[in-house]
Chains A and B, each alone.
Chain A
């Protein structure tokens, strides 16, 4: 609640006014039976047509004022609920942007998206209903009781008994059924899972001739679902009849005791009518309240999920000022670096040490899961090493301010990710102040100039969400160009040329090599051909740095490297 409370503060007035006006409206509702009672007792008994007319006008006037109150309440409720959830959404988004990669990996992208969207919508609906109705229903219930006391204290005691009884029945049935409804959801998930399995695995199921058994399993899950649905269904169907019986017992009691009071001359029949009306009103409101509680408990669960994210604190901290760069010619140095991800039992990297000089091209090779990506992610401090140190220009990476670090290191990730906008707007991510010429230079280097030129709108060609109007290879080249626009000191290509054909890949590497200056390039690849010309090659296997050196050196003495090379160049063996 703590975050939402904070956002509600800004709408303090609105969130107070909404329930207040709702209660005002309810007050008018409560007065209706009283007016009707007067109409009967005074108007009809004394045959006073004018009095009756006045009462009717009063009823209509009350209805109109009630309407005005209700409109006001709805407006303030909408404003407070939507305004504060908008604030909460802003806060959550901001918080997500501050999370480090490790937290994002643990939580998961799809979870973050649902919390941002459907969970926050639930909170908004719940809050809106809460502000409007949560006070109204209890107010009417207890108001009816109070009104009953103003009519006759003896008869009002019936209300004192009936209201708690009704509450126990309604909330008791809810308390019993709601965990069972969750169980039903579990059974339904099982049926869904089996259905999906039977569709995705249809070839295997048929190949093994297991259709009958799969049907039997489905049938069983289906039966379990129906049985649990029926049980809970019957139970919750009790709610209406039981409350109906209780209310009617209350009415019977009012009639019986009321008759006594009328006989004694304490009450008139009009007042009995009013009491019966109050009794009926209570039932309507309690049922509304029960429905409301379902919505609100759902909203609270969603709020809990949102706040769980807000409570996740990023574990990385960045200093404000630049450290002293003691070795300007040493681009990167790893000292006994190990890395284990949060949930994993095994380390992804173990005891890695190497150094890269400014201007060098470093190749990194290894099988899937050998730790290549993990290694380069450490260079940008997207994760913190669990042991050992990473140095950039001689300064520990944890001493670098965030902004300087991001400008110093640019990474092109495996998954080519573009954003809705234009080609230009995407490239400008690298450097918002880049000139037209700089953009084209980057495109040329990334081998993307040709296809961008071929687009009707050139740089201003629209990029759809996720870049789905571009091919995989085009997206990859644009992400490389985007990184080049930033003119970083260290460029990391994390297997980011996989969708390029051999010729383009070669041209790209040649273009990068031609860059005179101080850019240090890390190329991650599974193909030996992509890294053969690198100044220095790191060979990873199972998170260990098994060897490092040039292509020629490694071919001579590194068995893992030989193996990889051989599997890709078997044709060569053929001829020898």
Chain B
């Protein structure tokens, strides 16, 4: 499975193959150049034998060589970094773009079932981790491996015994590191647990701070807090101290390797086996040899992480998209005639919801949908707007099956105001003109006036240019609702879908909203999920839904006479004992 993920990552890297080749080539160049410099230094030192015995010619030649090699190394290192940056940032941009395209094409059934936080974290955090891992992998993995191979090769060519000393002793530092890590894991685990306990206590006591103070409970809370705070201190000191032993311990091992190399190399030097310059080369290699190993082990975990994240992104990309519009799909402007013929729909295959639903709505008719929670009111809206496709039967507008229309055209025929008052981050004007960004300010103001929103907008600090923060945090629920109505008012389509939500709105605003609703509906086919008595009574047709069926249908008087479910619902909901 890992390999298939890796292969897919490669296909995303495809367009940037030039960067990849460049990165690998310049990494090779950087490593070679960087490995040569210590040798040149050694050679230079060998040219200084003693007083009066310095070969200037050789030294100058070597210095020139070091200069050239350094320039090559530095330049290729920078080019490599540029290639890596370009590749990883562009790939993460492509991934995000693809994911966003996917989101726009996903069926609502998927988006309704998956928390948006999870999808956001895939698109943002996962892509970030992936990019970081990729960048680190390209900058360090390849050059790390090359450095190890190069170092080994050069050391072997100089003296195999000393090389052996380095090769045998260096792994000791990894053993020490992993030994300490496994020992400290327990302490870290302990720390995580206690910290978790403390965090939840903090959450609880600060969230409930007003209650704490109202009950004069501060002293007791402080006591509880201090107890866990001190426990955390003791546990943390242990965890932090033991984990901080890793670095000094590996440094000790490295120092011992260094001393051993110094010893063996010196003995060789005495017997004339190597020069002092070569000894200095060995010493600098010995101190650097362990570094790429440490880096590579870090990179491998990082890469595993990155692949796991890539996997989560690919999962999102692999989700089934909604059925595309038919190639011959039509665009229409409806007269407002809607019919549902033997419609069946269920969210979950084994839980029937809407079965055999039939309904014909004449242009201009007002349909009120009532029923207990979960009876399928919202589902009906989902089907009318084709947010979900029917399982059986058909929904037609002016006699045309809505699946033969483009989604765009179908939805343009409806104006929709939902209970969920979603607004964009942007100005008030941008939000009202959402359907037509090019609309003039006069039109926007006219729409706002029709929605009774103009007066409160004018009281906002910048009027129509006031910025709405994310999710309309700076507006009240009622104000947001009025803006949503204004948004539809701007360009009234032939049909309306209204979810009359009034639970969190005070009575005065509610009256305004009702009035705005009434203006909108004039002469238009409207579907209203109704909560208010007045709406229900004025509706041409009342659909009483229960468990996905329309169990009663008619106007208020006829339904009350029928004395069935509607009459019962009406009496229980609107009677105040």
Contacts and interface: CB of A to CB of B under 8 A. Distances in A.
B85 to A, nearest CB: 4
A230 B209 contact: no
B225 interface: yes
Contacts of B90: 226
Contacts of A240: 77, 81
Contacts of A201: 422, 424
A430 interface: yes
A25 B52 CA distance: 39
Contacts of A206: 108, 385, 387, 407, 411
Interface string B109-127: 0010000100110011000
Interface residues of B, number: 136
Interface in A269-295: 269-270, 272-273, 276-277, 280
A273 B45 contact: yes
B282 to A, nearest CB: 11
A244 B56 CA distance: 25
Contacts of B221: 97
B168 interface: no
Contacts of B260: 56
Contact of B104 (A32, A215, A276): A215
B244 A74 contact: yes
Interface of A: 25, 32, 36, 39-40, 43-44, 47, 49, 52-53, 55-56, 59-60, 62-64, 66-67, 70-71, 74-75, 77-79, 81-83, 86, 89-90, 93-94, 96-99, 101, 104, 109, 112-113, 116-117, 124, 128, 132, 188, 191-193, 195-211, 213-215, 218-219, 222-223, 225-226, 229-230, 233-234, 237-238, 240-242, 244-245, 248-249, 251-252, 255-256, 258-260, 262-265, 268-270, 272-273, 276-277, 280, 367-370, 380, 382, 402-403, 406-407, 410-411, 413, 417, 419-420, 429-430, 432, 465-466, 482, 486, 502, 529, 563-564, 567-572
Nearest to B42: A273
Given A59-B255, A79-B237, A276-B41, A70 B124 contact: no
Interface in B188-219: 199-218
A233 B85 contact: yes
B422 A195 contact: no
Contact of B211 (A79, A242, A256, A417): A417
Given A192-B124, A256-B63, A203 B216 contact: no
B229 A90 contact: yes
Contacts of B577: 502, 529
A209 B408 contact: yes
Given A97-B218, A230-B86, A252-B63, A83 B262 contact: no
B140 to A, nearest CB: 12
A208 B44 contact: no
A263 B51 contact: yes
A465 B200 contact: yes
B493 to A, nearest CB: 10
A268 B50 contact: yes
Interface stretch (B149-157, B263-271, B390-398): B263-271
Nearest 8 interchain pairs by C-beta: A367-B506, A265-B51, A237-B81, A63-B255, A241-B74, A70-B248, A199-B116, A233-B85
Given A49-B270, A79-B237, A368-B506, A403 B216 contact: yes
B502 to A, nearest CB: 10
Given A32-B255, A233-B89, 17 more contacts: A56-B266, A71-B248, A77-B244, A83-B237, A90-B226, A98-B218, A109-B209, A113-B202, A195-B100, A204-B422, A206-B385, A208-B435, A240-B77, A248-B70, A255-B44, A262-B48, A430-B215
A155 B216 CA distance: 72
Interface stretch (B300-308, B358-366, B413-421, B519-527): B413-421
B161 interface: no
A79 B269 CA distance: 47
10 contacts: A40-B269, A40-B279, A43-B270, A59-B258, A86-B230, A208-B435, A219-B97, A244-B77, A368-B505, A466-B207
B354 interface: no
A43 B270 CA distance: 8
A242 to B, nearest CB: 7
Interface in B470-522: 470-471, 476, 504-508
Contacts of A380: 214
Given A230-B85, A237-B85, A202 B255 contact: no
A317 B59 CA distance: 81
Contacts of B276: 40, 44, 269-270, 273
Contact of A407 (B216, B412, B420): B216
Contacts of B46: 269
A101 to B, nearest CB: 6
A74 B241 contact: yes
Nearest to B505: A368
B66 A413 contact: no
Given A411-B214, A465-B204, A265 B49 contact: no
Contacts of A403: 216
Contacts of B54: 259-260, 262-263
Interface string B562-574: 0000000001001
A417 B207 contact: yes
B280 A276 contact: yes
B466 interface: no
B232 interface: yes
Contacts of A368: 504-506
B283 A273 contact: yes
Contacts of A63: 251-252, 255-256, 259
Contact of B209 (A55, A90, A96): A96
Given A74-B245, A193-B425, A568-B576, A486 B215 contact: yes
B47 interface: yes
A199 B111 contact: yes
Contacts of A270: 276
B262 A571 contact: no
B549 interface: no
Contacts of B77: 240-241, 244
B392 to A, nearest CB: 23
B575 interface: yes
Contacts of B553: none
A522 to B, nearest CB: 14
B78 interface: yes
Contacts of B159: none
Contact of B56 (A67, A259, A370, A486): A259
B434 A208 contact: yes
B337 interface: no
Contacts of B24: none
A296 B165 CA distance: 40
B73 interface: yes
A571 B280 contact: no
Contact of A44 (B53, B270, B507): B270
Given A252-B66, A368-B506, A413-B211, A203 B387 contact: yes
Interface string B455-479: 0000000000000001100001000
A132 B240 CA distance: 12
Nearest to A485: B215
Contacts of A486: 215
A93 B284 contact: no
Contact of B70 (A77, A128, A244, A571): A244
Contact of B82 (A39, A234, A420): A234
A566 B232 CA distance: 58
B563 to A, nearest CB: 16
A196 B45 contact: no
B47 A56 contact: no
